[in-house]
Chain A
Protein backbone atom coordinates (compact mmCIF):
# COMPACT_ATOMS: atom_id res chain seq x y z
CA UNK A 1 0.00 0.00 0.00
CA UNK A 2 1.36 3.40 -1.00
CA UNK A 3 1.77 5.95 1.71
CA UNK A 4 1.04 9.63 0.90
CA UNK A 5 2.41 12.21 3.32
CA UNK A 6 0.58 15.54 3.40
CA UNK A 7 2.54 18.35 5.05
CA UNK A 8 0.80 21.30 6.69
CA UNK A 9 1.82 24.19 8.92
CA UNK A 10 0.27 27.54 9.92
CA UNK A 11 1.67 29.13 6.76
CA UNK A 12 1.18 26.10 4.52
CA UNK A 13 -2.52 25.32 4.45
CA UNK A 14 -4.22 24.83 1.11
CA UNK A 15 -7.52 23.13 0.33
CA UNK A 16 -6.31 22.33 -3.18
CA UNK A 17 -3.21 20.61 -1.84
CA UNK A 18 -5.35 18.60 0.60
CA UNK A 19 -7.66 17.57 -2.24
CA UNK A 20 -4.70 16.60 -4.41
CA UNK A 21 -3.21 14.45 -1.63
CA UNK A 22 -6.53 12.70 -0.95
CA UNK A 23 -7.01 12.24 -4.71
CA UNK A 24 -3.58 10.62 -4.98
CA UNK A 25 -4.37 8.31 -2.05
CA UNK A 26 -7.62 7.27 -3.76
CA UNK A 27 -5.86 6.68 -7.09
CA UNK A 28 -3.04 4.66 -5.55
CA UNK A 29 -5.41 2.91 -3.15
CA UNK A 30 -3.00 4.18 -0.52
CA UNK A 31 -2.95 5.55 2.98
CA UNK A 32 -2.85 9.24 3.80
CA UNK A 33 -0.66 10.53 6.63
CA UNK A 34 -1.44 14.17 7.41
CA UNK A 35 1.28 15.95 9.37
CA UNK A 36 0.67 19.40 10.86
CA UNK A 37 3.86 21.09 12.00
CA UNK A 38 3.59 23.88 14.56
CA UNK A 39 6.49 25.64 12.88
CA UNK A 40 8.91 27.08 15.43
CA UNK A 41 10.69 29.13 12.77
CA UNK A 42 7.55 31.28 12.51
CA UNK A 43 7.53 32.06 16.22
CA UNK A 44 11.29 32.65 16.12
CA UNK A 45 10.67 35.16 13.35
CA UNK A 46 8.00 36.96 15.40
CA UNK A 47 10.27 36.94 18.46
CA UNK A 48 13.05 38.50 16.40
CA UNK A 49 10.73 41.26 15.22
CA UNK A 50 9.36 41.91 18.69
CA UNK A 51 12.74 42.07 20.35
CA UNK A 52 15.00 43.43 17.61
CA UNK A 53 12.58 45.90 16.02
CA UNK A 54 10.07 46.53 18.80
CA UNK A 55 12.44 46.25 21.78
CA UNK A 56 9.84 44.25 23.69
CA UNK A 57 11.19 42.50 26.77
CA UNK A 58 11.68 38.79 27.27
CA UNK A 59 8.62 38.18 29.43
CA UNK A 60 5.87 39.76 27.29
CA UNK A 61 7.50 38.18 24.21
CA UNK A 62 7.41 34.74 25.86
CA UNK A 63 3.79 35.21 26.95
CA UNK A 64 2.79 36.25 23.46
CA UNK A 65 4.65 33.39 21.78
CA UNK A 66 3.13 30.84 24.15
CA UNK A 67 -0.33 32.18 23.26
CA UNK A 68 0.62 32.01 19.59
CA UNK A 69 1.85 28.42 19.91
CA UNK A 70 -1.40 27.35 21.62
CA UNK A 71 -3.42 28.96 18.85
CA UNK A 72 -1.36 27.28 16.13
CA UNK A 73 -1.85 23.95 17.87
CA UNK A 74 -5.59 24.54 18.08
CA UNK A 75 -5.75 25.47 14.40
CA UNK A 76 -3.65 22.42 13.54
CA UNK A 77 -5.99 20.07 15.40
CA UNK A 78 -8.97 21.64 13.60
CA UNK A 79 -7.30 21.29 10.21
CA UNK A 80 -6.37 17.64 10.86
CA UNK A 81 -9.91 16.82 11.98
CA UNK A 82 -11.21 18.36 8.75
CA UNK A 83 -8.77 16.30 6.66
CA UNK A 84 -9.73 13.10 8.50
CA UNK A 85 -13.34 13.79 7.69
CA UNK A 86 -12.64 14.57 4.00
CA UNK A 87 -10.50 11.47 3.64
CA UNK A 88 -13.11 9.33 5.39
CA UNK A 89 -15.75 10.51 2.94
CA UNK A 90 -13.56 9.32 0.04
CA UNK A 91 -12.88 5.99 1.76
CA UNK A 92 -9.19 6.76 2.36
CA UNK A 93 -7.38 5.45 5.43
CA UNK A 94 -6.03 8.49 7.19
CA UNK A 95 -3.70 8.97 10.13
CA UNK A 96 -2.92 12.40 11.52
CA UNK A 97 -0.02 13.72 13.51
CA UNK A 98 0.74 17.10 15.08
CA UNK A 99 4.32 17.96 15.98
CA UNK A 100 6.17 21.08 17.04
CA UNK A 101 9.47 21.89 15.38
CA UNK A 102 11.30 23.32 12.43
CA UNK A 103 9.38 22.59 9.21
CA UNK A 104 12.08 20.98 7.06
CA UNK A 105 13.60 18.92 9.84
CA UNK A 106 10.25 17.61 11.11
CA UNK A 107 9.02 16.86 7.57
CA UNK A 108 12.08 14.80 6.69
CA UNK A 109 12.02 12.97 10.01
CA UNK A 110 8.40 11.89 9.58
CA UNK A 111 8.85 11.12 5.85
CA UNK A 112 11.68 8.70 6.70
CA UNK A 113 9.91 7.21 9.71
CA UNK A 114 6.73 6.61 7.73
CA UNK A 115 8.61 5.45 4.59
CA UNK A 116 6.46 7.83 2.57
CA UNK A 117 6.07 7.17 -1.16
CA UNK A 118 5.08 10.73 -2.00
CA UNK A 119 4.95 14.06 -0.18
CA UNK A 120 2.35 16.73 -0.89
CA UNK A 121 3.15 20.24 0.26
CA UNK A 122 2.14 23.80 -0.54
CA UNK A 123 4.42 26.80 -0.86
CA UNK A 124 4.18 29.72 1.52
CA UNK A 125 2.63 32.84 0.06
CA UNK A 126 5.54 35.16 -0.66
CA UNK A 127 7.17 36.97 -3.52
CA UNK A 128 9.55 35.39 -6.02
CA UNK A 129 12.26 37.87 -4.93
CA UNK A 130 11.90 36.84 -1.29
CA UNK A 131 12.12 33.18 -2.35
CA UNK A 132 15.21 33.88 -4.45
CA UNK A 133 17.02 35.86 -1.76
CA UNK A 134 16.00 33.87 1.32
CA UNK A 135 15.95 30.44 -0.32
CA UNK A 136 13.13 27.94 -0.43
CA UNK A 137 12.31 25.33 2.19
CA UNK A 138 10.38 23.40 -0.44
CA UNK A 139 13.48 23.27 -2.68
CA UNK A 140 15.52 21.93 0.27
CA UNK A 141 12.78 19.40 0.96
CA UNK A 142 12.86 18.25 -2.67
CA UNK A 143 16.62 17.76 -2.46
CA UNK A 144 16.63 15.85 0.81
CA UNK A 145 13.35 13.91 0.73
CA UNK A 146 13.51 10.10 0.43
CA UNK A 147 10.63 10.17 -2.09
CA UNK A 148 9.07 12.41 -4.75
CA UNK A 149 7.69 15.77 -3.55
CA UNK A 150 4.62 17.26 -5.21
CA UNK A 151 4.45 20.98 -4.65
CA UNK A 152 1.24 22.91 -4.82
CA UNK A 153 1.73 26.58 -5.59
CA UNK A 154 -0.93 28.84 -4.00
CA UNK A 155 -0.86 30.90 -7.21
CA UNK A 156 -2.04 27.96 -9.27
CA UNK A 157 0.48 25.52 -10.74
CA UNK A 158 1.67 22.22 -9.38
CA UNK A 159 5.01 20.53 -9.98
Chain B
Protein backbone atom coordinates (compact mmCIF):
# COMPACT_ATOMS: atom_id res chain seq x y z
CA UNK B 1 0.00 0.00 0.00
CA UNK B 2 2.84 2.29 0.96
CA UNK B 3 4.53 1.54 -2.37
CA UNK B 4 1.38 2.58 -4.28
CA UNK B 5 1.15 5.81 -2.31
CA UNK B 6 4.76 6.77 -2.97
CA UNK B 7 4.35 5.91 -6.66
CA UNK B 8 1.22 8.10 -6.86
CA UNK B 9 2.96 11.05 -5.21
CA UNK B 10 5.90 10.72 -7.61
CA UNK B 11 3.56 10.52 -10.64
CA UNK B 12 1.60 13.56 -9.38
CA UNK B 13 4.77 15.63 -8.95
CA UNK B 14 6.19 14.59 -12.32
CA UNK B 15 2.93 15.54 -14.04
CA UNK B 16 2.86 18.86 -12.18
CA UNK B 17 6.37 19.67 -13.37
CA UNK B 18 5.80 18.40 -16.91
CA UNK B 19 2.69 20.51 -17.42
CA UNK B 20 3.89 23.61 -15.58
CA UNK B 21 7.22 23.77 -17.45
CA UNK B 22 5.92 22.81 -20.90
CA UNK B 23 5.55 25.59 -23.52
CA UNK B 24 2.08 27.19 -23.33
CA UNK B 25 -0.29 26.11 -26.09
CA UNK B 26 -2.18 28.76 -28.05
CA UNK B 27 -5.09 30.27 -26.16
CA UNK B 28 -3.83 29.30 -22.71
CA UNK B 29 -2.17 31.76 -20.35
CA UNK B 30 0.77 30.78 -18.15
CA UNK B 31 -1.46 31.12 -15.08
CA UNK B 32 -4.09 28.91 -16.72
CA UNK B 33 -1.48 26.30 -17.57
CA UNK B 34 -0.20 26.24 -14.00
CA UNK B 35 -3.77 25.97 -12.71
CA UNK B 36 -4.22 22.89 -14.92
CA UNK B 37 -0.92 21.47 -13.61
CA UNK B 38 -2.14 21.83 -10.00
CA UNK B 39 -5.52 20.39 -11.00
CA UNK B 40 -3.80 17.30 -12.48
CA UNK B 41 -1.68 16.92 -9.34
CA UNK B 42 -4.83 16.99 -7.22
CA UNK B 43 -6.54 14.58 -9.61
CA UNK B 44 -3.80 11.97 -9.16
CA UNK B 45 -3.61 12.43 -5.39
CA UNK B 46 -7.38 12.42 -4.86
CA UNK B 47 -7.88 9.38 -7.09
CA UNK B 48 -5.05 7.41 -5.48
CA UNK B 49 -5.71 8.57 -1.89
CA UNK B 50 -1.95 8.84 -1.58
CA UNK B 51 -2.51 11.68 0.87
CA UNK B 52 -5.62 12.47 2.90
CA UNK B 53 -8.02 14.57 0.78
CA UNK B 54 -7.61 17.51 3.13
CA UNK B 55 -3.81 17.44 2.87
CA UNK B 56 -3.98 17.44 -0.94
CA UNK B 57 -6.22 20.50 -0.69
CA UNK B 58 -3.69 22.20 1.56
CA UNK B 59 -0.97 21.52 -1.00
CA UNK B 60 -3.12 23.05 -3.74
CA UNK B 61 -3.77 26.17 -1.69
CA UNK B 62 -0.05 26.65 -1.20
CA UNK B 63 0.85 25.90 -4.84
CA UNK B 64 -1.73 28.26 -6.35
CA UNK B 65 0.01 31.48 -5.21
CA UNK B 66 3.49 29.93 -5.46
CA UNK B 67 3.02 29.20 -9.17
CA UNK B 68 1.46 32.61 -9.77
CA UNK B 69 -2.02 31.28 -10.49
CA UNK B 70 -3.93 33.48 -8.02
CA UNK B 71 -2.77 35.94 -5.35
CA UNK B 72 -2.11 34.58 -1.86
CA UNK B 73 -5.10 36.39 -0.32
CA UNK B 74 -7.50 35.00 -2.95
CA UNK B 75 -6.23 31.46 -2.47
CA UNK B 76 -6.73 31.56 1.29
CA UNK B 77 -9.97 33.58 1.14
CA UNK B 78 -11.95 30.60 -0.13
CA UNK B 79 -11.70 28.95 3.28
CA UNK B 80 -14.19 31.64 4.28
CA UNK B 81 -16.76 30.55 1.71
CA UNK B 82 -20.29 30.28 3.17
CA UNK B 83 -20.55 26.70 1.93
CA UNK B 84 -17.66 25.67 4.20
CA UNK B 85 -19.55 27.04 7.19
CA UNK B 86 -22.80 25.44 6.05
CA UNK B 87 -21.09 22.06 6.06
CA UNK B 88 -19.56 22.79 9.44
CA UNK B 89 -22.95 23.68 10.93
CA UNK B 90 -24.59 20.64 9.32
CA UNK B 91 -21.87 18.36 10.74
CA UNK B 92 -22.36 19.84 14.21
CA UNK B 93 -26.09 19.19 13.95
CA UNK B 94 -25.37 15.62 12.89
CA UNK B 95 -22.99 15.30 15.85
CA UNK B 96 -25.83 16.30 18.17
CA UNK B 97 -28.16 13.76 16.54
CA UNK B 98 -25.61 11.00 17.12
CA UNK B 99 -24.46 12.14 20.56
CA UNK B 100 -28.03 12.33 21.87
CA UNK B 101 -28.84 8.83 20.58
CA UNK B 102 -31.78 10.19 18.60
CA UNK B 103 -30.47 8.86 15.29
CA UNK B 104 -30.13 5.33 16.72
CA UNK B 105 -33.63 5.52 18.22
CA UNK B 106 -35.11 6.60 14.88
CA UNK B 107 -33.26 3.85 13.02
CA UNK B 108 -34.39 1.13 15.45
CA UNK B 109 -37.99 2.38 15.37
CA UNK B 110 -38.00 2.49 11.58
CA UNK B 111 -36.57 -1.02 11.17
CA UNK B 112 -38.92 -2.47 13.81
CA UNK B 113 -41.93 -0.96 12.04
CA UNK B 114 -40.96 -2.44 8.68
CA UNK B 115 -39.29 -5.62 9.80
CA UNK B 116 -42.14 -8.13 9.69
CA UNK B 117 -40.79 -10.56 7.09
CA UNK B 118 -37.28 -11.21 5.76
CA UNK B 119 -37.91 -9.02 2.71
CA UNK B 120 -39.60 -6.23 4.64
CA UNK B 121 -36.66 -6.19 7.05
CA UNK B 122 -34.39 -5.49 4.05
CA UNK B 123 -36.81 -2.72 3.03
CA UNK B 124 -36.78 -1.37 6.59
CA UNK B 125 -33.00 -1.09 6.62
CA UNK B 126 -32.92 0.64 3.21
CA UNK B 127 -35.66 3.08 4.21
CA UNK B 128 -34.17 3.69 7.63
CA UNK B 129 -30.73 4.46 6.17
CA UNK B 130 -32.25 6.46 3.35
CA UNK B 131 -34.53 8.55 5.50
CA UNK B 132 -31.80 9.34 8.03
CA UNK B 133 -29.36 10.25 5.25
CA UNK B 134 -31.84 12.92 4.18
CA UNK B 135 -30.87 14.79 7.36
CA UNK B 136 -27.35 13.70 8.31
CA UNK B 137 -24.21 12.61 6.42
CA UNK B 138 -24.57 9.20 4.82
CA UNK B 139 -21.32 7.86 6.26
CA UNK B 140 -22.46 8.79 9.77
CA UNK B 141 -25.75 6.99 9.07
CA UNK B 142 -23.93 3.86 7.90
CA UNK B 143 -21.65 3.91 10.96
CA UNK B 144 -24.66 4.29 13.23
CA UNK B 145 -26.64 1.50 11.52
CA UNK B 146 -23.70 -0.92 11.47
CA UNK B 147 -24.06 -2.29 15.03
CA UNK B 148 -27.84 -2.61 14.61
CA UNK B 149 -27.51 -4.64 11.39
CA UNK B 150 -24.72 -6.68 12.95
CA UNK B 151 -27.02 -7.47 15.89
CA UNK B 152 -29.68 -8.65 13.42
CA UNK B 153 -27.17 -10.83 11.53
CA UNK B 154 -25.96 -12.41 14.78
CA UNK B 155 -29.50 -12.99 16.03
CA UNK B 156 -30.33 -14.79 12.78
CA UNK B 157 -27.08 -16.76 12.98
CA UNK B 158 -26.21 -15.82 9.39
CA UNK B 159 -23.02 -17.30 7.99
CA UNK B 160 -20.56 -14.66 6.75
CA UNK B 161 -19.90 -14.91 2.98
CA UNK B 162 -22.31 -17.85 2.75
CA UNK B 163 -25.72 -16.42 3.53
CA UNK B 164 -27.35 -14.48 0.69
CA UNK B 165 -29.58 -12.80 3.24
CA UNK B 166 -26.54 -11.67 5.22
CA UNK B 167 -25.05 -10.09 2.10
CA UNK B 168 -28.35 -8.37 1.32
CA UNK B 169 -28.66 -7.00 4.88
CA UNK B 170 -25.27 -5.27 4.80
CA UNK B 171 -25.64 -3.98 1.25
CA UNK B 172 -29.07 -2.63 2.26
CA UNK B 173 -27.30 -0.67 5.00
CA UNK B 174 -24.82 0.83 2.52
CA UNK B 175 -27.16 1.43 -0.40
CA UNK B 176 -29.94 2.91 1.74
CA UNK B 177 -27.51 5.49 3.12
CA UNK B 178 -26.03 6.17 -0.33
CA UNK B 179 -29.30 6.77 -2.16
CA UNK B 180 -30.77 8.72 0.77
CA UNK B 181 -27.66 10.89 0.83
CA UNK B 182 -28.40 12.51 -2.53
CA UNK B 183 -31.83 13.83 -1.51
CA UNK B 184 -30.76 16.98 0.37
CA UNK B 185 -27.70 19.11 1.01
CA UNK B 186 -27.23 17.30 4.34
CA UNK B 187 -26.72 13.72 3.17
CA UNK B 188 -23.38 14.17 1.55
CA UNK B 189 -20.75 16.82 1.18
CA UNK B 190 -20.76 16.82 -2.63
CA UNK B 191 -23.96 18.84 -3.17
CA UNK B 192 -22.87 21.74 -0.92
CA UNK B 193 -19.46 21.72 -2.61
CA UNK B 194 -21.14 21.88 -6.01
CA UNK B 195 -23.24 24.75 -4.69
CA UNK B 196 -20.10 26.56 -3.54
CA UNK B 197 -18.40 26.15 -6.93
CA UNK B 198 -21.60 27.31 -8.67
CA UNK B 199 -21.73 30.38 -6.47
CA UNK B 200 -18.02 31.19 -7.03
CA UNK B 201 -18.30 30.84 -10.81
CA UNK B 202 -21.69 32.32 -11.61
CA UNK B 203 -22.98 33.96 -8.42
CA UNK B 204 -25.98 31.59 -8.64
CA UNK B 205 -27.44 29.30 -6.02
CA UNK B 206 -29.97 26.48 -5.61
CA UNK B 207 -32.46 26.57 -2.72
CA UNK B 208 -32.68 23.79 -0.14
CA UNK B 209 -36.31 23.12 -1.14
CA UNK B 210 -35.55 23.35 -4.89
CA UNK B 211 -32.92 20.65 -4.54
CA UNK B 212 -35.19 18.45 -2.42
CA UNK B 213 -38.10 18.76 -4.83
CA UNK B 214 -35.82 17.83 -7.73
CA UNK B 215 -33.83 15.02 -6.11
CA UNK B 216 -35.82 13.50 -3.23
CA UNK B 217 -38.30 11.72 -5.58
CA UNK B 218 -35.35 10.23 -7.46
CA UNK B 219 -33.83 9.14 -4.16
CA UNK B 220 -37.06 7.40 -3.14
CA UNK B 221 -37.34 5.63 -6.52
CA UNK B 222 -33.75 4.45 -6.11
CA UNK B 223 -34.56 3.03 -2.66
CA UNK B 224 -37.17 0.81 -4.33
CA UNK B 225 -34.66 -0.08 -7.06
CA UNK B 226 -32.09 -1.04 -4.40
CA UNK B 227 -34.68 -3.22 -2.64
CA UNK B 228 -35.62 -4.87 -5.92
CA UNK B 229 -32.00 -5.61 -6.90
CA UNK B 230 -31.09 -6.97 -3.45
CA UNK B 231 -34.09 -9.24 -3.10
CA UNK B 232 -33.72 -10.59 -6.65
CA UNK B 233 -29.95 -10.92 -6.71
CA UNK B 234 -29.35 -12.57 -3.34
CA UNK B 235 -31.17 -15.72 -2.22
CA UNK B 236 -33.44 -14.93 0.73
CA UNK B 237 -32.19 -17.96 2.67
CA UNK B 238 -34.00 -16.99 5.88
CA UNK B 239 -37.62 -17.88 6.55
CA UNK B 240 -38.19 -16.59 10.03
CA UNK B 241 -36.90 -13.34 11.49
CA UNK B 242 -38.45 -13.70 14.94
CA UNK B 243 -35.03 -13.66 16.62
CA UNK B 244 -34.09 -10.47 14.75
CA UNK B 245 -37.31 -8.89 16.03
CA UNK B 246 -36.40 -9.95 19.56
CA UNK B 247 -32.96 -8.38 19.14
CA UNK B 248 -34.52 -5.14 17.89
CA UNK B 249 -37.01 -5.14 20.76
CA UNK B 250 -34.13 -5.60 23.21
CA UNK B 251 -32.26 -2.73 21.54
CA UNK B 252 -35.35 -0.52 21.83
CA UNK B 253 -35.69 -1.38 25.54
CA UNK B 254 -32.01 -0.67 26.04
CA UNK B 255 -32.49 2.83 24.61
CA UNK B 256 -35.11 3.53 27.29
CA UNK B 257 -37.55 6.44 27.22
CA UNK B 258 -36.89 9.50 25.03
CA UNK B 259 -34.54 11.81 26.92
CA UNK B 260 -34.81 15.59 27.26
CA UNK B 261 -31.64 15.91 25.18
CA UNK B 262 -33.20 13.92 22.34
CA UNK B 263 -36.34 16.05 22.47
CA UNK B 264 -34.28 19.24 22.38
CA UNK B 265 -32.12 18.05 19.48
CA UNK B 266 -35.15 16.91 17.49
CA UNK B 267 -36.85 20.31 18.02
CA UNK B 268 -33.77 22.25 16.89
CA UNK B 269 -33.24 19.94 13.91
CA UNK B 270 -36.85 20.32 12.81
CA UNK B 271 -36.71 24.12 13.18
CA UNK B 272 -33.41 24.27 11.29
CA UNK B 273 -34.73 22.22 8.38
CA UNK B 274 -37.85 24.40 8.27
CA UNK B 275 -35.65 27.51 8.24
CA UNK B 276 -33.49 26.10 5.41
CA UNK B 277 -36.62 25.35 3.40
CA UNK B 278 -38.54 28.56 4.01
CA UNK B 279 -35.88 31.15 4.78
CA UNK B 280 -32.75 29.68 3.18
CA UNK B 281 -32.88 32.00 0.17
CA UNK B 282 -33.32 35.12 2.30
CA UNK B 283 -30.80 34.45 5.05
CA UNK B 284 -28.48 31.92 3.43
CA UNK B 285 -27.97 28.27 4.41
CA UNK B 286 -24.74 28.83 6.32
CA UNK B 287 -26.01 31.40 8.84
CA UNK B 288 -28.99 29.17 9.65
CA UNK B 289 -26.69 26.16 10.12
CA UNK B 290 -24.42 28.13 12.43
CA UNK B 291 -27.34 29.58 14.41
CA UNK B 292 -28.63 26.05 14.92
CA UNK B 293 -25.19 25.01 16.18
CA UNK B 294 -25.14 27.92 18.61
CA UNK B 295 -28.64 26.98 19.79
CA UNK B 296 -27.40 23.45 20.58
CA UNK B 297 -24.85 24.95 22.97
CA UNK B 298 -27.24 27.55 24.42
CA UNK B 299 -29.69 24.80 25.41
CA UNK B 300 -26.89 22.53 26.68
CA UNK B 301 -27.65 19.82 24.12
CA UNK B 302 -24.04 19.29 23.14
CA UNK B 303 -20.62 20.09 24.57
CA UNK B 304 -17.61 21.35 22.62
CA UNK B 305 -15.73 18.16 23.52
CA UNK B 306 -18.42 16.11 21.77
CA UNK B 307 -18.25 18.31 18.69
CA UNK B 308 -14.51 17.74 18.57
CA UNK B 309 -15.04 13.99 18.92
CA UNK B 310 -17.75 13.73 16.28
CA UNK B 311 -16.62 16.28 13.66
CA UNK B 312 -13.49 15.85 11.58
CA UNK B 313 -12.12 19.35 10.94
CA UNK B 314 -10.27 18.15 7.83
CA UNK B 315 -13.52 18.83 6.01
CA UNK B 316 -12.81 22.58 6.13
CA UNK B 317 -9.41 22.14 4.49
CA UNK B 318 -10.81 19.83 1.83
CA UNK B 319 -13.57 22.26 0.94
CA UNK B 320 -11.36 25.34 0.97
CA UNK B 321 -8.86 23.62 -1.33
CA UNK B 322 -11.47 22.24 -3.72
CA UNK B 323 -13.12 25.66 -4.02
CA UNK B 324 -9.75 27.34 -4.57
CA UNK B 325 -8.79 24.96 -7.40
CA UNK B 326 -12.18 25.38 -9.07
CA UNK B 327 -11.96 29.18 -8.79
CA UNK B 328 -8.39 29.22 -10.10
CA UNK B 329 -9.29 27.08 -13.12
CA UNK B 330 -12.23 29.37 -13.87
CA UNK B 331 -10.50 32.70 -13.32
CA UNK B 332 -7.34 31.88 -15.30
CA UNK B 333 -9.21 30.43 -18.26
CA UNK B 334 -7.75 26.96 -17.61
CA UNK B 335 -11.20 25.34 -17.40
CA UNK B 336 -12.32 27.06 -20.60
CA UNK B 337 -9.20 25.87 -22.45
CA UNK B 338 -9.83 22.24 -21.40
CA UNK B 339 -13.49 22.67 -22.30
CA UNK B 340 -12.57 24.02 -25.75
CA UNK B 341 -10.34 20.99 -26.36
CA UNK B 342 -13.16 18.66 -25.28
CA UNK B 343 -15.83 20.57 -27.22
CA UNK B 344 -13.75 20.45 -30.41
CA UNK B 345 -14.35 16.70 -30.29
CA UNK B 346 -17.91 16.84 -29.04
CA UNK B 347 -19.18 19.65 -31.29
CA UNK B 348 -22.71 19.19 -32.53
CA UNK B 349 -23.80 16.79 -29.78
CA UNK B 350 -27.36 17.41 -28.55
CA UNK B 351 -27.37 19.05 -25.11
CA UNK B 352 -29.13 16.05 -23.53
CA UNK B 353 -26.24 13.85 -24.68
CA UNK B 354 -23.75 16.24 -23.13
CA UNK B 355 -25.69 16.20 -19.83
CA UNK B 356 -25.86 12.39 -19.98
CA UNK B 357 -22.10 12.25 -20.55
CA UNK B 358 -21.51 14.42 -17.46
CA UNK B 359 -23.73 12.09 -15.44
CA UNK B 360 -21.96 8.96 -16.72
CA UNK B 361 -18.52 10.41 -16.00
CA UNK B 362 -19.55 11.36 -12.46
CA UNK B 363 -21.26 8.01 -11.85
CA UNK B 364 -18.22 5.98 -12.86
CA UNK B 365 -15.55 8.21 -11.35
CA UNK B 366 -17.28 8.09 -7.98
CA UNK B 367 -16.98 4.29 -7.81
CA UNK B 368 -13.21 4.61 -7.57
CA UNK B 369 -12.69 7.87 -5.71
CA UNK B 370 -14.32 9.96 -3.01
CA UNK B 371 -17.54 11.49 -4.30
CA UNK B 372 -16.51 14.93 -3.03
CA UNK B 373 -13.30 14.65 -5.05
CA UNK B 374 -15.31 13.53 -8.09
CA UNK B 375 -17.37 16.73 -7.89
CA UNK B 376 -14.31 18.91 -7.26
CA UNK B 377 -12.56 17.46 -10.31
CA UNK B 378 -15.45 17.27 -12.75
CA UNK B 379 -17.53 20.34 -12.08
CA UNK B 380 -15.08 23.10 -13.13
CA UNK B 381 -14.42 21.32 -16.45
CA UNK B 382 -18.08 20.46 -17.04
CA UNK B 383 -19.04 24.12 -16.47
CA UNK B 384 -16.65 25.11 -19.27
CA UNK B 385 -17.95 22.40 -21.61
CA UNK B 386 -21.55 23.30 -20.80
CA UNK B 387 -20.95 26.97 -21.68
CA UNK B 388 -19.78 25.90 -25.14
CA UNK B 389 -22.80 23.61 -25.54
CA UNK B 390 -25.31 26.21 -24.34
CA UNK B 391 -26.26 24.30 -21.18
CA UNK B 392 -27.06 26.23 -18.00
CA UNK B 393 -24.74 25.84 -14.98
CA UNK B 394 -27.57 24.76 -12.66
CA UNK B 395 -28.30 21.81 -14.96
CA UNK B 396 -24.61 20.89 -14.75
CA UNK B 397 -24.68 20.92 -10.93
CA UNK B 398 -27.55 18.38 -10.88
CA UNK B 399 -25.98 16.31 -13.68
CA UNK B 400 -22.68 15.98 -11.82
CA UNK B 401 -23.45 16.19 -8.09
CA UNK B 402 -26.36 13.72 -8.07
CA UNK B 403 -24.69 10.77 -9.87
CA UNK B 404 -21.44 11.51 -8.02
CA UNK B 405 -23.24 10.28 -4.92
CA UNK B 406 -24.30 6.98 -6.44
CA UNK B 407 -21.42 4.61 -5.62
CA UNK B 408 -22.66 1.06 -5.13
CA UNK B 409 -20.08 -1.46 -6.24
CA UNK B 410 -16.67 -0.87 -4.69
CA UNK B 411 -15.74 -0.39 -1.03
CA UNK B 412 -13.27 2.37 -1.93
CA UNK B 413 -15.94 4.58 -3.52
CA UNK B 414 -17.67 5.76 -0.41
CA UNK B 415 -17.43 5.07 3.33
CA UNK B 416 -20.87 3.35 3.63
CA UNK B 417 -19.71 0.69 1.16
CA UNK B 418 -16.43 0.26 3.04
CA UNK B 419 -18.30 -0.06 6.35
CA UNK B 420 -20.69 -2.69 4.97
CA UNK B 421 -17.86 -4.65 3.32
CA UNK B 422 -15.80 -4.69 6.50
CA UNK B 423 -18.46 -6.79 8.24
CA UNK B 424 -17.32 -9.72 6.10
CA UNK B 425 -20.83 -10.90 5.14
CA UNK B 426 -20.34 -10.52 1.39
CA UNK B 427 -17.49 -10.95 -1.05
CA UNK B 428 -16.14 -8.20 -3.23
CA UNK B 429 -17.45 -9.96 -6.34
CA UNK B 430 -21.00 -9.93 -4.83
CA UNK B 431 -21.01 -6.18 -4.34
CA UNK B 432 -19.38 -5.58 -7.72
CA UNK B 433 -21.97 -7.70 -9.56
CA UNK B 434 -25.04 -6.49 -7.65
CA UNK B 435 -23.69 -2.93 -7.52
CA UNK B 436 -23.13 -2.87 -11.28
CA UNK B 437 -26.74 -3.91 -11.83
CA UNK B 438 -28.01 -1.20 -9.48
CA UNK B 439 -25.68 1.35 -11.07
CA UNK B 440 -27.11 0.57 -14.49
CA UNK B 441 -30.69 0.72 -13.22
CA UNK B 442 -29.93 3.96 -11.34
CA UNK B 443 -28.43 5.60 -14.42
CA UNK B 444 -31.44 4.72 -16.54
CA UNK B 445 -33.78 6.08 -13.85
CA UNK B 446 -31.63 9.21 -13.49
CA UNK B 447 -31.70 9.91 -17.22
CA UNK B 448 -35.47 9.37 -17.39
CA UNK B 449 -35.95 11.70 -14.41
CA UNK B 450 -33.63 14.29 -16.02
CA UNK B 451 -35.39 14.06 -19.37
CA UNK B 452 -38.93 14.36 -18.07
CA UNK B 453 -39.19 15.41 -14.40
CA UNK B 454 -36.25 17.83 -14.31
CA UNK B 455 -37.36 19.23 -17.67
CA UNK B 456 -40.82 19.75 -16.17
CA UNK B 457 -39.18 21.62 -13.25
CA UNK B 458 -37.20 23.72 -15.73
CA UNK B 459 -33.80 22.31 -14.70
CA UNK B 460 -33.03 20.58 -17.99
CA UNK B 461 -34.21 21.94 -21.28
Contact = CB atoms under 8 A, between A and B. Distances in A.
Interface of A: 10-11, 13, 41-43, 45-46, 48-61, 63-64, 67-68, 71-72, 74-75, 125-126, 133-135
A11 to B, nearest CB: 8
26 contacts: A11-B424, A42-B422, A46-B419, A50-B419, A51-B312, A52-B52, A53-B139, A53-B414, A54-B137, A54-B140, A54-B312, A54-B414, A56-B137, A56-B415, A58-B308, A58-B309, A59-B309, A59-B310, A60-B310, A63-B147, A68-B423, A75-B160, A134-B1, A134-B4, A135-B1, A135-B3
Contacts of B143: 50, 56, 60-61, 63-64
A51 B313 CA distance: 10
A50 B147 contact: no
B91 interface: yes
B460 interface: no
Contact of B422 (A43, A51, A58, A134): A43
Contacts of B189: 55
A51 B98 CA distance: 16
Contacts of B160: 75
A55 B318 contact: yes
Nearest to B7: A133
A59 B309 CA distance: 5
Given A50-B418, A56-B139, A56-B140, A125 B428 contact: yes
Q: Is the interface of A mostly helix, strand, loop or mixed?
A: helix
Interface in B296-345: 306, 308-312, 314-315, 318
10 A-B pairs with least C-beta separation:
A54-B139, A54-B415, A59-B309, A57-B310, A52-B52, A55-B312, A55-B315, A53-B370, A134-B4, A49-B418
A73 to B, nearest CB: 11
Interface in B413-461: 414-415, 418-419, 422-424, 427-429
A60 B424 contact: no
B412 interface: yes
B150 interface: yes
Contacts of B414: 53-54
A37 to B, nearest CB: 13
A71 B3 contact: no
Nearest to B306: A59
Contacts of A43: 422
A60 B160 CA distance: 24
A152 to B, nearest CB: 15
Contacts of B146: 64, 67-68
B49 interface: yes
Contacts of B147: 63-64, 67
